[in-house]
Structure 1
Amino acid sequence: MSEAHQIDPQMPPFPNEAQGEPGRVHEAPHTSDGTVIRPVPRVTIQAFCETPDVGVSLQRAAQDRRLAKAHLTVHMGGILSAISHYSDTPTPGLIIVESALGGQQLLDSLDRLAEVCDAGTRIVVVGHANDISLYRELIRKGVNDYLVAPLHPISIVESISTLYADPEAPPLGRTIAFTGARGGTGSSTIAHNAGWCISEHMNEDVTIVDLDLAFGTGGLDFNQDPAQGVADALYAPERLDDVLLERLLVRCTEHLSLFAAPATLDRDYAIDNDTFEVVLDVVRHSVPCVVLDLPHVWGPWTRKLLLEADEIVITATPDLASLRNTKNLLDMLSAARPNDVTPHLVINQVGVAKRPEIPIKDFAEALGSDPALVLPFDAALFGEAANNGQMIEEIDARSKTAQGMRHLASVVSGRPISARAAVGGSLLSRLLGRKG
């Protein structure tokens, strides 16, 4: 793989708006140890800042999807303003205060703040000294966390999430949502193959959830015909637990399970947002990686699942409708998910004979984003895999397409491709990045 296509693990610092830098943040939605940041429950949070930069970071954090249920307001003035404000006002569930003070001065000011705080109020301090001794003393005095400025919004979200996380709760699985820029782009095929590669080459347990309830192809692609599946859970979400989930899932390989769609037209699939949230919450607590195969429909529940996913993959074809729709999706997701990674773009079915296509370079320039993967049109390979109910790699592990699927699995999972799987690396570079 060429150096230009390597994934940089060091995310850039938070942009400085005063210098006119772009406001887009590229930050993985996970904690420093790789676990997923949990959503914060309904709680009132009030912050008191001394510097504009910390105030901006807190405001950006307030827009984060994981703080959707929380209410965070930002004030200027630091600890002294907080003391004055709460001298005759009840304190919220969490107070965040910034202070440039250090040592005993900071400890004394926090003692004064504690005198006006109600029982049960939590305190997070933002300081400017990276001092482990100070940190230990603050924790000993009852401060819940100490963050060192400058702050990235994700570090704020992570700190708040950790405060309210149930230590007895199982880890929360990462969700990777796959959607097509239009119908027929091959999004489901990409989703199934990427999920299979994660399970095979990263040895990670994966559940693929086929949410195209009427026309889903998960069962066909994995050569399965389950009697029950995701619709049974969606129609009785209150009954779903780990035991029932295990009965509804189809085990495809040692590490891969399928939550299959019924793919029948004998009912209307009118299901509300909350039901999807309940069912997927059970799935996320049962497995470290959840692949969501979303149908090409636009409604409240598909929008909600996209906005709440940890990673998003958009599959497009090199035509004008895909370009327009991808641009609309990227703009919407960028505005609604300011602290998340930019969605990964896959351009599929490139090089169809006699079909006019938008050059990949022009496609990428119009979007302002390079594709993570460009897949050539290979009707024979995809057709054989579909008809046999097999994955691309099972048909031809050395093909460009199989190499591309492994690369995509590595990108969205954040895990490296094993040496055994990285077959024909020189060919892989032709699939990635810009292509004229």
Structure 2
Amino acid sequence: MSNLAYDTDPTEAGGASAEDIARLNSLRPIPRISIHAFCETESVARPIERAADDRRMSKAHLRVAMGGLEGALAHYATSPTPNLIILESRAEPKELLHSLERLAEVCDPSTKVVIIGHYNDVWLYRELLRFGISEYVVAPVSLADVIGNIAQIFVNPESEPLGKTIAFIGAKGGVGSSTIAHNVAWTMSTAFSTEVVVADLDLAFGTANMNFDQDPAQGIAEAVFAPERIDEVYLDRLLAQCAEHLSLLAAPSTLDRVYDFDTDAFAQIIDTAQRSAPLLVLDVPHVWTGWTRNTLVEADEIVITATPELANLRNTKNLVDTLRKLRPNDRPPHLIINQAGVPKRPEISPGDFTEPLGLTPLAIIPFEPQFFGNASNNGRMLAEMDAQHAIVKTISEIAHIVTGRSEIKTRAKPGLSGILDKLRSKKK
């Protein structure tokens, strides 16, 4: 038994419209550049300020000031210009062109300039491009407009597309997040015939090597402790082949050293892995550190796995609330309720569990210890044990949703708790 549903409307996440979120998800991260914006109206300044907090802009340095073109002229009379200047101007077309001639006198030739104007004038647009302006945008602008125009200038469209990162984390230890992550990754690789890399980030206690029946001599530890060596060639040598289209960056799962990492310890590994495969599954351990927070913030999709009890509900709410603040322009995390219907265990009903979260569960997976245990003990995936099992079909649907290949909008059924009660009674 399983119940699948899509998350709440993205607009409920706050920060960006559903259309903006869709546009933002298609953009690659902005490189390490400096950006100054000089605005004349709050309606233009606000989306630019919000852009500074977007995860795609995490490497860029963006500063917003009021004053428009005159403010920029005064500032750059004594200061060097950045990589990009964004200027809002309400001036008429001819007056704007005259003012830009003054800006050219204090602007470095390598600096790009984007103008946000208030005149929808084809002649002005052509004159500005001829003048050397990188882009002219007519106000009002959205968050997606701001980041999209920056990406258009500084992200090479001919570069290889970055792989999509899907981070799995448990609301508590032992909820089955790693098992679900590994099975979803295996399903992606087989069902879509596309390259998938699984990165086990739990260096001390990771289980990916056992679940995939692998014992590689090297893995993710060699990369994280030698960041100066990381490139696509070196990373390829560290990958263990688990299936035709599935590779693993295995954790050493030993305690012969401590694993204390800097905040950006895994950033370069993830960036490199993204250039190596279309899909990157991150098995994130249940800890809260600088690097786990950064890893979740930078991921394209986040899946939280929880069991239906109080500590899981508290931890899930903390995660969801924190990630909504850290990722205001992204979808909220997906939620999977796992191990539902444990015999004689008091449980929180799906409705009571999800109501304070503002989410509908992506999947509700029943407690099937024999099925999961047999797969784990044999180093096999669930689909390899029984391809027709209902839980295997659920895993397949999860894989389709988190990769954007389908949207399941069926809401949780009112009688779901009754079905769970029947399931419990059968197991007594």
Aligned with residue 25 of structure 1, among 16, 23, 28: 16
Closer, same or farther: CA 174–384 of 1 in aligned 2, 3 Å: same
Instruction: Report what 1:237 is aligned to.
Output: 227
Cα distance in 2 between the residues matched to 1:365 and 1:91: 50
Corresponding position: 1:38 with 2:13: no
SS of aligned partner of 2:401: helix
Instruction: Report what 1:194 is aligned to.
Output: 184
Output the amino acid matched with 1:308: E
Alpha-carbon deviations, 1:317-374, whole Å to 9, x = none? 1111011111111121111222222111111111111111111111111112222222
Instruction: Report what 1:346 is aligned to.
Output: 336
Which stretch has the larger CA shift, 394-403 or 132-141?
132-141
Corresponding position: 1:223 with 2:213: yes
Aligned with residue 272 of structure 2, among 251, 272, 282: 282
| Aligned pairs (5 A) from 1:176-325 | 176-325=166-315
Cα distance in 2 between the residues matched to 1:270 and 1:28: 40
Alpha-carbon deviations, 1:25-61, whole Å to 9, x = none? 3669988596552143041x22122332221111111
Which stretch has the larger CA shift, 268-277 or 247-256?
268-277
Query: Does the aligned pair in 2 maintain the 1:174–1:289 contact within 8 Å?
Result: yes
Query: Does the aligned pair in 1 maintain the 2:40–2:89 contact within 8 Å?
Result: yes
SS of aligned partner of 1:357: coil
SS of aligned partner of 1:252: strand
| Aligned pairs (5 A) from 1:23-422 | 23-25=14-16, 32=23, 35-43=26-34, 45-87=35-77, 89-100=79-90, 104-128=94-118, 135-166=125-156, 169-416=159-406
Cα distance in 1 between the residues matched to 2:260 and 2:369: 35
Cα distance in 2 between the residues matched to 1:389 and 1:252: 11
Query: Does the aligned pair in 2 maintain the 1:24–1:334 contact within 8 Å?
Result: no
Cα distance in 2 between the residues matched to 1:29 and 1:195: 28
Output the amino acid matched with 1:279: I
Query: Does the aligned pair in 2 maintain the 1:37–1:158 contact within 8 Å?
Result: no
Which stretch has the larger CA shift, 138-147 or 160-169?
160-169
Closer, same or farther: CA 175–136 of 1 in aligned 2, 3 Å: farther
Which stretch has the larger CA shift, 81-90 or 170-179?
81-90
Cα distance in 1 between the residues matched to 2:175 and 2:123: 56
Query: Does the aligned pair in 1 maintain the 2:30–2:150 contact within 8 Å?
Result: no
Query: Does the aligned pair in 1 maintain the 2:13–2:328 contact within 8 Å?
Result: no
- How many residues of Structure 1 are paired with residues of Structure 2 in the alignment? 414
Q: CA deviation at 1:167?
A: 5.9
TM-score normalised per structure 2: 0.85
Closer, same or farther: CA 85–432 of 1 in aligned 2, 3 Å: farther
TM-score normalised per structure 1: 0.84
SS of aligned partner of 1:275: coil
Query: Does the aligned pair in 2 maintain the 1:173–1:289 contact within 8 Å?
Result: yes
SS of aligned partner of 2:303: strand
Cα distance in 1 between the residues matched to 2:406 and 2:193: 11
Could you tell me the percent identity over the aligned residues? 50
Instruction: Report what 1:422 is aligned to.
Output: none
Which stretch has the larger CA shift, 277-286 or 325-334?
277-286
Gaps of 5+ in 1: 13-20, 418-424
Instruction: Report what 2:423 is aligned to.
Output: none
Cα distance in 1 between the residues matched to 2:355 and 2:373: 31
Which stretch has the larger CA shift, 323-332 or 133-142?
133-142
Closer, same or farther: CA 331–105 of 1 in aligned 2, 3 Å: same
Closer, same or farther: CA 71–239 of 1 in aligned 2, 3 Å: closer
Which of the pair has the greater relative contact order for Cα pairs under 8 Å at 6+ separation? 2
Cα distance in 2 between the residues matched to 1:125 and 1:337: 27
Closer, same or farther: CA 254–36 of 1 in aligned 2, 3 Å: farther
Query: Does the aligned pair in 2 maintain the 1:39–1:67 contact within 8 Å?
Result: yes
Cα distance in 2 between the residues matched to 1:129 and 1:399: 61
Q: CA deviation at 1:224?
A: 1.7
Cα distance in 1 between the residues matched to 2:13 and 2:185: 33
